[in-house]
Amino acid sequence: MALLDMSDIHAGYGGANILNGVAIAIDAHEIGVIVGPNGAGKSTTLKALFGLLTVSQGTILLDGKDITNRAPEALVRDGLSFVPQEFNVFPTLSVEENLEMGAFIRRDDFRHLIDKVYGFFPPLKDKRRQAAGELSGGQRQMVAMGRALMTEPKLLLLDEPTAGLSPRYMGEIFERIIEINAAGVGILMVEQNARQALALAHRGFVLAGGRNRFTGTGAELLADPDVAKSFLGGGE
């Protein structure tokens, strides 16, 4: 059974819809990547999935359970975690406090999860007492992802995790995403760096105008000359 099954999603911010029938399906332990030009509805798809805007048509199933239009607070308990593109840390809280806030819904002892996050992102361990707002962009992204992992989600949603990062950090973040996925967490991410992202995707979705244009495995999409020509900046 699919971990996530979004079918025929229509949604918008009031007024005209931005999504006009998006379909996303990924299986457990897979990495799904959404790419496409600006205004294609990539981030909007994640927001609709995470209950941040109203879905007017279509259904979203998580592990077979209908989660369409559930509130974000409830979705966190259902096993979804969301890392927004910007403003994704609590700047005056320390790194460790940011992670604790990720575990707000847990009433059990989550010490071992903090250690696990430090295992994924070793630089954070040294900076655990430092305010997250003082960290570099790449380290802030690590805090944001670490915070989202504290609920032990089934599916982690990442909105452009490498936006604005130097190539060095970009590679590091992609490596960490593969490691986190290998540890059993499904991942659905929106990426501007389409080529690198599709290279690590089990499932790729090319959106344009609020609809699916191409859907396939990451390798299929990378090999498709139409996709390459229209969306990956020429065939190279």
Partner 1 sequence: MEAGFLASLPAQELVFFINRGLLAGLIIGSVYALGAVGVTLIFGILRFAHFAHGDMMTIGAFVALVCVALFTGGESIAGLPAAFVLMPIAMAVTALAAIGIDRGFYAPLRRAKVRPVVIVMSSIGVMLMMQGLVRLFAGTGTWQLEAGGAKTIYRLPLLGRDVILTQPQALLIGFTALAAIALHFFLTRSRMGKAMRAVSDNPDLARVSGISIDSVVRATWAIAGALAAAAGTLLALDVTLKPDLAFNIILPIFAAAIVGGIGQPYGAMAGGMLVGFTETFAVFNWSVLLRPLQPWLPDFIDIPNRIAFVPTEYKIVVPFFILIAVLIWRPTGIFKGRVVK
Rounded CA-CA distance 193/190 in Å is 9
Decide whether 90 or 118 has the Cβ nearer to partner 1: 90
Least Å distance between CB 151 and partner 1?
7
List binders of partner 1 among 38-97 (CB under 8 A): 50, 52, 72-73, 76-77, 82, 84, 87-93, 97
Contact flag: residue 102 with partner 1 (CB under 8 A): yes
Strand pairing partners for 175? none
Residue 151 binds to partner 1 (criterion: CB under 8 A): yes
Question: What's the rounded Cα separation, in Å, for the pair 218 and 203?
Answer: 5
Contacts with partner 1, 103-142, as mask; x by CB under 8 A: -xx-------------------------------------
Nearer to partner 1 (CB atom), residue 23 or residue 131: 131
Q: Which of 12, 22, 35 is nearest to 189 (CA)?
A: 35
Least separation in angstroms between residue 144's CB and partner 1 is 8
Amino acid making up residue 113:
L
CB within 8 A of 13, min separation 6: which ones?
A: 53
Element (H, E) at 24: strand 19-27
Which among 50, 51, 72, 76 is positioned nearest to 189, based on CA atoms? Answer: 50
Which residue number, 146 or 218, has a Cβ lying nearer to partner 1? 146
Q: Which stretches of the chain bind partner 1, using CB under 8 A?
A: 50, 52, 72-73, 76-77, 82, 84, 87-93, 97, 100-102, 104-105, 147-148, 151
